[in-house]
Structure 1
């Protein structure tokens, strides 16, 4: 477990992530992270559950309409 310290940043309060945590999350300056509530507390992740749901719906449509999409691509 990594302990993080809250820091004042202007009129806000922020968390500075150590370099090794950024590397494990594959994050860099300007990337988005998501704080999600889970049964065991909160989780900080680069994974956007809403985006994944949308992509899964798109994959189903693309699979079902493969022939039409190929024709449109010509």
Structure 2
């Protein structure tokens, strides 16, 4: 039986640490499990107002580009069909 996933604790704090010649954050395994992240996954950084950051596996620039492409495909569907022949 799977253990229920708990909600994030508002008091979770990550400390910037030295990792080799770099600085980094160590993410606890419980947080990785909640976010469904594994070693090698990429996180995108989105700067927020008031010195905040949002780390997300979702790439907002890619999503915006895909929406532009979808609009183009809808608008010019006949042209794309003809080109595909």
Task: Please report the TM-score for the alignment, with normalisation by the length of structure 1.
Answer: 0.77
2:24 matches 1:14: yes
2:74 matches 1:63: yes
2:63 matches 1:52: yes
Unaligned runs of 5+ in 1: none
Unaligned runs of 5+ in 2: 1-9
Between Structure 1 and Structure 2, how many residues are aligned?
74
Q: Is the 8 A contact 1:33 1:44 kept in 2?
A: yes
Q: Which runs of 4+ in 1 moved over 4 A?
A: none
SS in 2 for 1:24: helix
Correspondence for 1:27: 37
Q: Which has the larger radius of gyration?
A: 2
Cα distance per residue 1:39-74 (max 9 Å; x no partner): 242211112111111111111111112223334445
Aligned-residue Cα RMSD (Å) equals: 1.8
* Counterpart Cα distance in 2 of 1:54 and 1:21: 30
